[in-house]
Amino acid sequence: MTSRLKSVVLLMAYFAITACSGTADEPEAARDEAPAFDRNLTGVWQVMNTANYDLEAHHARHAMQTIDGPWGPQPDPRVVYLGAVGAVPAGDSVIKGGTIPYTEEALAQRNENRANWIDRDPEIKCYLPGLPRATYMPFPLQIIQNDKAMLMSYEYANAVRNINLEDPGEAPLDSWMGQSYGYWEGNTFVIEVTAQNGQTWFDRSGNFGSPQMVVTERYTKIGPDHIQYEATIEDPATYTEPWTIEMILYRKIGKEAQLQEFNCVEFVEELLYGHLRKEPLR
């Protein structure tokens, strides 16, 4: 039995048990605020944008990492052989207001990150993506919920996060995916994400936050197959003011409505540990 199958079996058992325990204590008025489907986020969802390349508006460019050439930017030698596969497609900003309000020092750090993408982006090494990046990577995510619990599973790196439906207080330690506390505001499910370790990036363009960052996500069902997603980022150590991204999550249907297994750790073993070989491959 694969690790993915084991996880699914455990999840099915968990939700079967909680489903038999009755409904959550919720005021009758709150349950009657909207049709049932408006609060049912269960399903497999995926974005359709280029936010994972760059949250801000960006034109198409030669490569995810470039160097100065005699006639302008050219691909870094380490990515030149990827050709069009390693190029960056154009995209609109998903940020309200257009740009991230960095402090002067943080903007310099972002630019340095961008110039050293191939060495620094955690995605390349299969580290967990953190929030909000896990939402808009080019992989689907699955939401499983009932009256007692909610869980989000991501195809990339088999990442999983449990959404605490009661305030858990301060997290005992920082982690890649942080701690999530969720609650309903009308028809919007709000998740407060804290205790991320500050090592995650928002995209392949070096945008980042610190360990003090607080992310407030908002999931609003706007139809049976669409969720309006917003995430507000607060981090006085990095930004001059809070800022918000917004996008649509689309439900996957048919045979595509499932997560495949992309346990990318095994794919980057050579990158991470290949230098330890007696005769390195590169």
Residue 218: give its domain's CATH number. Answer: 2.40.128.20
Are 166 and 259 members of one domain? yes
Of 51, 47, 50, 76, residue with least CA distance to 64:
76
**Residue 17: partners with Cβ closer than 8 Å, 6 or more residues away:** none
- Shared domain check, 211 and 81: no
Residues 81 and 10 in one domain: no
- The per-residue pLDDT for 282 is 67
pLDDT score recorded for residue 10: 46
The amino acid at 168: P
Give residue 77's domain range: 60-90
20, 127: one domain: yes
The reported pLDDT for the residue numbered 188 is: 96
Looking at the fold, whether 219 and 202 belong to one and the same domain comes out as: yes
User: What is the pTM for the complete model shown?
Assistant: 0.86
pLDDT of residue 274: 85
Co-location of 254 and 141 in the same domain: yes
User: Do residue 136 and residue 75 come from a single domain?
Assistant: no
Per-residue model confidence (pLDDT) at position 260: 94
Output the CA torsion sign for 103, 108, 114, 118. Answer: negative
Secondary structure of the chain in the HEC alphabet? CCHHHHHHHHHHHHHHHHHCCCCCCCCHHHHCCCCHHHHCCCEEEECCCCCCCCCCCECCECCCCEEEECCEEEECCCCHHHHHHHCECCECCCECCCCCCECHHHHHHHHHHHHCHHHHCHHHHCCCCCCCHHHHCCCCEEEEECCCCEEEEECECCCEEEEECCCCCCCCCCECCCEEEEEEECCEEEEEEECECCCCECCCCCCECCCCCEEEEEEEEEECCEEEEEEEEECCCCECCCEEEEEEEEECCHHHCCCCCECHHHHHHHHHHHHHCCCCCC
Residues 22 and 83 reside in one and the same domain: no
Regarding whether 82 and 110 lie in a shared domain, the answer is no
**Is the same domain home to 244 and 200?**
yes
* Statement to judge: residues 81 and 99 lie in one domain: no
Structural contact between residues 158 and 261, judged by C-beta atoms closer than 8 angstroms:
yes
pLDDT of 246: 98
Per-residue model confidence (pLDDT) at position 7: 52
Rounded-to-integer distance, Cα 133 and Cα 176, Å: 11
Q: What is the number of domains present in the chain? A: 2
Question: Which residue bears the tokens 């050293």?
Answer: 116
Say yes or no: 148 and 13 in one domain: yes
- Tell me what pLDDT residue 38 has: 85
pLDDT along the chain (282 residues), means of 10: 49 48 45 65 97 97 89 88 93 97 98 95 96 98 93 96 96 97 96 97 98 98 96 98 98 94 90 84 71
Is residue 281 one of the residues assigned to a domain? no
